[in-house]
Amino acid sequence: MHRAAHTALCDWPQFVRPAMIRQSLRCTGSLQTSSRAYSVIPPPRDREEEEMMHRMLRVDHAGEYGANRIYAGQMAVLGRSRTGPLIQQMWDQEKKHLAKFNEILAENRVRPTALLPLWNLAGFALGASTALLGKEGAMACTVAVEESISEHYNSQIRALMESDPERYTELLQMIKEFRDDEMDHHDTGLEHDAESLPGYWLLKNAIQLGCKAAIYVSQRV
Amino acid sequence: MAALLRGLRAGRLLRGLPSVVAAPASTNQQCSSLRRSFHCAALRLQDESKSDKSSASSSSSSSSSTTHHEHYQAHSSHQDTEAASQQDPDPNSSDREQDEEYETEEQLQAQILAAALEFVPLYGWSMEAIAAGAESLGLSSASTGMFPNGSGDLVLHFISQCNSKLTEILAEQHNQVQLGQAERKKTADFLRDAVETRLRMYIPYIETWPQAMSILLLPHNIPDSLKHLSTMVDDIWYYAGDRSTDMNWYTKRAVLTGLYNTTELVMLQDSSPDFKDTWAFLDNRIQDVVNMATTAKQMQSTGEAVAQGLMGAAVTLKNLTGLNQKR
């Protein structure tokens, strides 16, 4: 009994040291591959969850990319007007969102949607054409797009909460933060006379229909 | 008398059997559980017969005053505890025996296919190779019934095995670079080495590889073979350091797929020593890709310079004609 305890005390470094070395190697490896020591997305449990997660990230990335291009189109037309700084400010926030999604996609090896060139052209065209209607047109476009995006983020938050809130805490926090930013843009658009555009209701619904179609397609392709 | 006792014990055994079968029957692995239960039953019968012999010897040595019935009762209780204690280790030991061979049907299939690969140079990628592989493991050649898409299964299994090996090698190299024990390779060199490593895995089967490629092109095999190809290309680019999230993701993978497929075809009809013509072809193609990328970049910067020049000329013209004045 005494000898057993003695050997146990002497032997435990033999077991702990290799495990510690392995652990430290793993830690340095992961720290070097990502700039943060944690990841927003939990490692997938199975194929199904991986598919679901990748689809979500793909469509969110496409959405932020499209929003980016819309603001770029608006700036191309209204950049030197009075609303230029306002649009620039909203655009900078979207750039931050896109950078974050780029990081997540690269880390988790998610395939980006193949329709990105289409969203590039369509987004820029939408932003530029609504900006040609004047400041109210640009604001109306902003209101419509941001409302669609917020609705989309809300449905994703609902889906994640329904499946497993604890598992997706960081992801939920990130999506909630982005959704709040988009709602801010929506409110800013309303504040700056979006509704005073003639044909506002028609334009808004047309844009929202287009956004819904874009989301549907980006999830699948 | 002893025969009567044996008969009674066998009857009790048969009564115990349905309970053993009914319990695991609720799981999906009915065959294996039945096999296990029969195994248990066989072991128990064996043990009972052994203890029967010992009981016969002990009964002869014990006093004859005990009636056979009492002796049977005492012995049956002894047998019950023995059986109860044996019931727990018995399934475990038979499980352990079978664990060494396989746990699921998929593992068994993988083992048979792995054994069949040795017979591919002899029989080609066919059912005969699978049958020979099954027989080499001690199973009957009727196990080919497990593979309705026999030759396709064999080729796809081999390909996924090659892909796993490649991923292991690439991950190991990646770790070495992370730990600072190796230098980071340039992208062109990395791609060349990765494709060469992967194609070298075909060398033992190069005689029969045309047959394998034609099997992969059969319509029912195309989805799986495309999936394996795309995961392999994605892995290679990931370890080469590609983290793009735009159209480059697609163009890079398309380029590497083209590289890999053409080099594979060249390898099939290459008769130079150690396939050095194939590796030379691969080098040239990679150089082509690098040249194209450089040319594209140069064209883009030239185009930007030209656009700037034109804008400058237009502004100068406007100034000269007086159209640019603010009134």
Chosen for mutation from A116, A119, A221 (greatest number of chain B CBs closer than 10 Å) is A116
* B216 and B303 part of one domain: yes
In one-letter notation, the amino acid at residue B21 is V
Q: Which residues of chain A neighbour B238 with C-beta distances below 8 Å? A: 109
Candidate CATH numbers 1.10.3470, 3.90.550, 1.20.910, 3.40.50; the one for domain A47-219: 1.20.910
Look at chain B and report how many structural domains it folds into: 2
Reported as a single tens digit per residue, the pLDDT across B144-203 is: 999 999 899 999 999 999 999 999 999 999 999 999 888 888 999 999 999 999 999 999
Mean pLDDT for B277-284 is: 96
* B190 and B302 part of one domain: yes
Q: Which residues of chain A neighbour B234 with C-beta distances below 8 Å? A: 109
The pLDDT confidence band at residue B11, using thresholds 50, 70 and 90, is low
* Residue B200 maps to a domain: yes
* B268 and B119 part of one domain: no
Reported as a single tens digit per residue, the pLDDT across A102-114 is: 999 999 999 999 9
Per the CB < 8 A criterion, the answer to whether B45 and B13 are in contact is yes
pLDDT at A38: 63
In three-state form (DSSP H/G/I as H, E/B as E, the rest C), the secondary structure along A15-64 is HHHHHHHHHHHHHHHHHHHCCCCCCCCCCCCCHHHHHHHHHHHHHHHHHH
* Residue B80 maps to a domain: no
* B171 and B108 part of one domain: no
* B166 and B295 part of one domain: yes
Token pair recorded at residue B311: 């804008």
Reported as a single tens digit per residue, the pLDDT across B44-101 is: 554 555 555 444 444 444 444 445 554 554 444 445 444 444 444 444 444 444 445 6
Name which of A25, A61, A117 is nearest B245 (Cβ-Cβ): A61
* B156 and B141 part of one domain: no
Alpha helix stretches (DSSP H) within chain A: 2-33, 47-78, 84-107, 116-132, 135-163, 169-191, 200-220
Show the domain range for B109.
104-148
* B128 and B253 part of one domain: no
Of the candidates B296, B290, B260, B258, the residue with the CA atom closest to the CA atom of residue B189:
B290
Mean pLDDT for B4-15 is: 57
pLDDT at B23 over 90: no
* B126 and B162 part of one domain: no
* Residue B312 maps to a domain: yes
By C-alpha distance, the chain A residue nearest B245 is A112
Per the CB < 8 A criterion, the answer to whether B199 and B264 are in contact is yes
By C-alpha distance, the chain A residue nearest B242 is A106
* B256 and B137 part of one domain: no
The residue ranges of every structural domain in chain A are 47-219
pLDDT at B85: 45
Mean pLDDT for A16-32 is: 45
Reported as a single tens digit per residue, the pLDDT across B108-158 is: 999 999 999 999 999 999 999 999 999 999 998 888 999 999 899 999 999
* B162 and B143 part of one domain: no
* B163 and B307 part of one domain: yes
**What CATH number should be reported for the domain holding residue B200?**
1.10.357
Own/partner long-range contacts of A174-179 (Cβ < 8 Å, ≥24 apart): A174/A40, A174/A100, A175/A60, A178/A97, A178/A153, A179/A149, A179/A150, A179/A153, A179/A154
Do B245 and A106 make contact, defined as CB atoms within 8 angstroms?
yes
Of the candidates B43, B54, B46, the residue with the CA atom closest to the CA atom of residue B78:
B54
Give the torsion sign (CA, B146, B150, B152, B155): positive
By C-alpha distance, the chain A residue nearest B250 is A114
Per the CB < 8 A criterion, the answer to whether B155 and B216 are in contact is yes
- Mean residue pLDDT of chain B comes to 80
Q: Which of A41-45, A77-81, A123-127 has the highest mean pLDDT?
A: A123-127
Whether ipTM > 0.85 holds is no
pLDDT at A213 over 60: yes
Report the C-alpha gap between A77 and A79 in whole angstroms.
6
The pLDDT confidence band at residue A30, using thresholds 50, 70 and 90, is very low
